[in-house]
Structure 1
């Protein structure tokens, strides 16, 4: 379905062409002075130089051509040559009725679907999720949903940190505590247990304890490095333990991500890329992409146009060990082999931008990806506390993600109970989770991803202002009106959205036309904050209309039914939008 701005522009193109002017000047934008008009065209100003005419003369000629147009009820040329336009209420109502009949609310799917892998999440196994994992999960999930809504095949990969010394540390510490386990028996030929010899709580305590020991005890660290080597070279007992570590960790991670309404298609990790590394290294050498520098194997990735120093991408350290670079390049090889993606998007802390610039250049230079494969880095800013520093607990430690979620849910629960005495505890707790998730996700996503922001629980959980709870409250208000209308035995069988009768109604209707443009822009710019901004404006427009209009007590049934149809469309667009952001609305609040 055509965007409304495209329909308007087509009308202007015809008018400009009929006057003998190039259609490139018929560009339409939303008015930056909504008090004067709804749309504007400044093309006459640009055309004046080419056609050697005063801009106002060109604008007046175009206006003359638009006199018979049914799209506008106001069109005027304003000095020095602006073309100001307001839509005709009948045309606007007709457009919204078409949207309301479309199951995708006027948003066409792309004609050229792509396969896109999104790398987001990035947790380490054997460690609890903390607030530092929040932004990647929330932003990545929304980008995935928007991409799918647009019509692309989007694959979300959690990309676990499950390789390297951390595994050796866990194995070493476990061997010290439980040496009798069969995993540590040399030449053991039996079946290994199917149940892990530790719980997630024990595992989360083992790793930091082992890490702390390794920093003080050189012999302990050496033993952990040897355990890592044996694991990576096929030690059966250690590989069985590694599988337990993964199973226990992933089960817990899935539970925590589920609380965020975040899901992944792939639960792959750094370990999945390891089999590709030997061939990758040989390929780099055979094709003269890599060379030895100070004992390390590196690939030059600097370019003549660089204005800053871009260091070489290291493939192997001087001792022959691989690095994160190696693993990430091997992961790209695996993704190209398994999914043939047109794009790979990495949702990562913006402080890693230089690192990914090296990896992307290396992948392109060494032809690990096709020439037209896009590698994109979406760097997100820091989530800070009210003191402007990275968000921490009151004691100064890094807050666990489940603790943050629990705090927000409790805050919402207390507000629910304070405002609604009649609600049961069970319903209040369940509703609090739904609203709390909206507070957390909207609070994050309403900011441009690359910007740092202050995570203010009091503000984010408010039912007023630019917050998730305010958006949900608006949706619930609409649902309540629709339920009351249904109880009045109102019929919508022949109902349609009517031409607007007030300024607030028209403002709401104009906001409803923007969904397809906003979704398109959000996808193309990888910018979920544009959807947040849109639904906040839409919620404001609806609430103003609601406060100024006696919807259910309107005597004229046709008018009342038309308003109900308008509310249904508003609800559907708001619910579709919040689903793209990764949360939903309750039935009541």
Structure 2
């Protein structure tokens, strides 16, 4: 359905058109001066230049037509021709009735949808998830929800780091520790053990040791580089060992992401595109896009209009192995073959230059147009010292430890406030899990994606203020109001809604702005816009709850109306929190 501002824009546009002017001049937006009116239109000023008339006179003529239409309760002028608009009660009620019938709770719907792949994982095989993986997972999952609600077909891809130098480092480290393993015997080419010689805990210890050994010894680094090239060339023993690394790592990753409430439809890694690299290189060669550079092969992507130097994309290293540039380019080839219309990468904004290189090379190869490839970069989660968040000892905090930390803090709050209705009790531990994850997610998503933010656990888990738990509590209270009235959302929402009290009108007006917030969050890839909207709705409901009797209202028709408005609000809050990846407990 159309948002309230869209419907008002159509109404005001018709008034401009009746005056012989462009109907697009009737664009209505939320007012900068809510003390004067909830909405405004500044089109008369632009119209004056085109029509060569006084803007005040144009605004007066439009005002007269709007008053005659009867859809607005008040139309006033300010300054040189600003129109201040207040919808009539009947207009709000009619739109609220439409909202009740909308299965999407008022979400914006795209006219032309796309098949989109969202790349929001990027963990490396053999390394546990840490706080550095948090933002990509949370933002990516929410963007998937936002885009799906708009009608797009969206798949999330974890894009595992499973094909670079770290694989060669692991192989060499294990070879030094256990040289007798069959995987290192070049005479054996098949029949390798099904059980992995290493566990995920082993890998967590081996990986940093392997990395440190390569940093300390040029010889060890040369071994790792050679092993990487052999792995990528198809050495059977190394491939079998690599598969074990991937399998045990995936099992651990699935558990960590599941605890965070994050899912991927595609579990592909850089290795999945290895068969595509050779034909891709041939295509680059045929199009004369591949150049030699000190023994390596590169694609030039710099342009005269660039404000800074953009290095060429490295496709083949001088030792014959491939790196991120080649696998990322081949991944775009794979995604083109899979029929995706758009590719979005939710990756730290510090990687922006890399994506400029890859996207330009992909466009030159004819895989996607540049505007169909996006880097949705994000800032860092920092400690109170303003630096990327770490443990007290200065190390990188594991994601599982962070989740435990917020869950424990949430459990303290839940024990203080939980009051379960009879027959619906959830364990305090389960509620704490939901509250803790909601605190973590909303704290991240409520900040603009591109900015850094400070990790403040006490503030995040508060049941008051702009937090995830506050929104959960608001939803729980709405459901409680309905339950105490002896009804449920599906039944309550059937009643007609009348809007007579100011707090009722304010709440309905906010609910009718969901489509605008959803569209803006979608188009800008900014979940915080939806966070602002749902927080505003929750605050407005709190005012409505305080000012209006609902379940104990004596007038039956008014009681039914207010219960319907409560059910409508609950439905929209649930829809938005679902998009953001936040669960709602049965009680708090």
State whether residues 117 and 154 of structure 1, in contact with CA within 8 Å, keep that contact through their aligned partners in structure 2. Answer: yes
Tell me which residue corresponds to 1:584. Answer: 583
Tell me which residue corresponds to 2:311. Answer: 311
Task: State the shift of 1:421 in Å.
Answer: 7.8
Tell me which residue corresponds to 2:225. Answer: 225
- 1:253 matched to 2:253? The reply is yes
Residues 184-204 of structure 1 deviation map (CA, whole Å, 9 limit, x = unaligned): 344336632222122211121
Instruction: Please give the alpha-carbon distance, in whole angstroms, between the structure 2 residues aligned to 1:116 and 1:415.
Output: 39
State whether residues 493 and 563 of structure 2, in contact with CA within 8 Å, keep that contact through their aligned partners in structure 1. Answer: no
State how 1:240-319 maps to structure 2 within 5 Å: 240-319=240-319
Instruction: Please give the alpha-carbon distance, in whole angstroms, between the structure 2 residues aligned to 1:21 and 1:91.
Output: 25
Of 211-220 and 266-275, more deviation after overlay is shown by 211-220
State whether residues 229 and 321 of structure 2, in contact with CA within 8 Å, keep that contact through their aligned partners in structure 1. Answer: no
Of 125-134 and 200-209, more deviation after overlay is shown by 200-209
State whether residues 342 and 372 of structure 1, in contact with CA within 8 Å, keep that contact through their aligned partners in structure 2. Answer: no
Task: State the shift of 1:13 in Å.
Answer: 1.8
Indicate the SS of the match to 1:389. Answer: coil
- 1:407 matched to 2:418? The reply is no
Instruction: Please give the alpha-carbon distance, in whole angstroms, between the structure 2 residues aligned to 1:545 and 1:124.
Output: 49
Instruction: Please give the alpha-carbon distance, in whole angstroms, between the structure 1 residues aligned to 2:477 and 2:559.
Output: 17
Runs ≥4 in structure 1, deviation > 6 angstroms? 421-426, 487-491
Tell me which residue corresponds to 2:196. Answer: 196
State whether residues 463 and 470 of structure 1, in contact with CA within 8 Å, keep that contact through their aligned partners in structure 2. Answer: yes
Instruction: Please give the alpha-carbon distance, in whole angstroms, between the structure 2 residues aligned to 1:104 and 1:425.
Output: 29
Task: State the shift of 1:508 in Å.
Answer: 0.6
- 1:565 matched to 2:564? The reply is yes
Task: State the shift of 1:30 in Å.
Answer: 1.1
Q: How well do the aligned residues superpose, as a CA RMSD in angstroms?
A: 2.2
Change (3 A) 1:204 1:496: same
Indicate the SS of the match to 1:104. Answer: coil
Tell me which residue corresponds to 1:502. Answer: 501
Instruction: Please give the alpha-carbon distance, in whole angstroms, between the structure 2 residues aligned to 1:153 and 1:162.
Output: 27
Of 36-45 and 191-200, more deviation after overlay is shown by 191-200
Tell me which residue corresponds to 2:381. Answer: 383
Change (3 A) 1:443 1:243: same
State whether residues 342 and 373 of structure 1, in contact with CA within 8 Å, keep that contact through their aligned partners in structure 2. Answer: no
Task: State the shift of 1:349 in Å.
Answer: 0.8
Tell me which residue corresponds to 1:515. Answer: 514
Instruction: Please give the alpha-carbon distance, in whole angstroms, between the structure 2 residues aligned to 1:568 and 1:548.
Output: 17
Tell me which residue corresponds to 1:536. Answer: 535
Task: State the shift of 1:537 in Å.
Answer: 0.8
Task: State the shift of 1:219 in Å.
Answer: 3.8
Instruction: Please give the alpha-carbon distance, in whole angstroms, between the structure 2 residues aligned to 1:184 and 1:277.
Output: 26
Residues 60-114 of structure 1 deviation map (CA, whole Å, 9 limit, x = unaligned): 1111112232321111223321111111112211211111122112335423221
Instruction: Please give the alpha-carbon distance, in whole angstroms, between the structure 2 residues aligned to 1:316 and 1:93.
Output: 64
Indicate the SS of the match to 2:377. Answer: strand
Change (3 A) 1:230 1:425: farther
Tell me which residue corresponds to 1:158. Answer: 158
Instruction: Please give the alpha-carbon distance, in whole angstroms, between the structure 1 residues aligned to 2:14 and 2:190.
Output: 81
State whether residues 16 and 62 of structure 2, in contact with CA within 8 Å, keep that contact through their aligned partners in structure 1. Answer: yes
Indicate the SS of the match to 1:580. Answer: helix
Tell me which residue corresponds to 1:463. Answer: 463
Instruction: Please give the alpha-carbon distance, in whole angstroms, between the structure 2 residues aligned to 1:372 and 1:127.
Output: 32
State whether residues 434 and 584 of structure 1, in contact with CA within 8 Å, keep that contact through their aligned partners in structure 2. Answer: yes
Identify unmatched segments of 5+ residues in structure 2. none
Change (3 A) 1:313 1:372: closer
State whether residues 70 and 91 of structure 1, in contact with CA within 8 Å, keep that contact through their aligned partners in structure 2. Answer: no
Instruction: Please give the alpha-carbon distance, in whole angstroms, between the structure 1 residues aligned to 2:369 and 2:221.
Output: 43
Task: State the shift of 1:51 in Å.
Answer: 3.0
Task: State the shift of 1:487 in Å.
Answer: 6.5
Change (3 A) 1:526 1:414: same
Change (3 A) 1:58 1:242: same
Instruction: Please give the alpha-carbon distance, in whole angstroms, between the structure 1 residues aligned to 2:369 and 2:136.
Output: 27
Instruction: Please give the alpha-carbon distance, in whole angstroms, between the structure 2 residues aligned to 1:189 and 1:294.
Output: 35
Instruction: Please give the alpha-carbon distance, in whole angstroms, between the structure 1 residues aligned to 2:401 and 2:494.
Output: 51
Tell me which residue corresponds to 2:354. Answer: 355
Instruction: Please give the alpha-carbon distance, in whole angstroms, between the structure 1 residues aligned to 2:414 and 2:332.
Output: 47
Of 112-121 and 223-232, more deviation after overlay is shown by 223-232
Tell me which residue corresponds to 1:205. Answer: 205
Indicate the SS of the match to 2:161. Answer: coil
Instruction: Please give the alpha-carbon distance, in whole angstroms, between the structure 2 residues aligned to 1:294 and 1:181.
Output: 37
Tell me which residue corresponds to 1:574. Answer: 573
Instruction: Please give the alpha-carbon distance, in whole angstroms, between the structure 2 residues aligned to 1:120 and 1:154.
Output: 12
- 1:556 matched to 2:555? The reply is yes
Q: TM-score, normalised by structure 2?
A: 0.95
Tell me which residue corresponds to 1:114. Answer: 114
Change (3 A) 1:213 1:302: closer
Residues 516-536 of structure 1 deviation map (CA, whole Å, 9 limit, x = unaligned): 121111111111111001011
Instruction: Please give the alpha-carbon distance, in whole angstroms, between the structure 2 residues aligned to 1:401 and 1:562.
Output: 46
Of 96-105 and 507-516, more deviation after overlay is shown by 96-105
Instruction: Please give the alpha-carbon distance, in whole angstroms, between the structure 2 residues aligned to 1:12 and 1:98.
Output: 20
Tell me which residue corresponds to 1:397. Answer: 395
State whether residues 99 and 106 of structure 1, in contact with CA within 8 Å, keep that contact through their aligned partners in structure 2. Answer: yes
Instruction: Please give the alpha-carbon distance, in whole angstroms, between the structure 1 residues aligned to 2:420 and 2:537.
Output: 30
Instruction: Please give the alpha-carbon distance, in whole angstroms, between the structure 2 residues aligned to 1:579 and 1:493.
Output: 20
Change (3 A) 1:72 1:239: same
Task: State the shift of 1:223 in Å.
Answer: 3.4
Task: State the shift of 1:288 in Å.
Answer: 1.3
Indicate the SS of the match to 2:347. Answer: strand
State whether residues 118 and 157 of structure 1, in contact with CA within 8 Å, keep that contact through their aligned partners in structure 2. Answer: yes
State how 1:62-81 maps to structure 2 within 5 Å: 62-81=62-81
Indicate the SS of the match to 2:83. Answer: strand
Tell me which residue corresponds to 1:82. Answer: 82
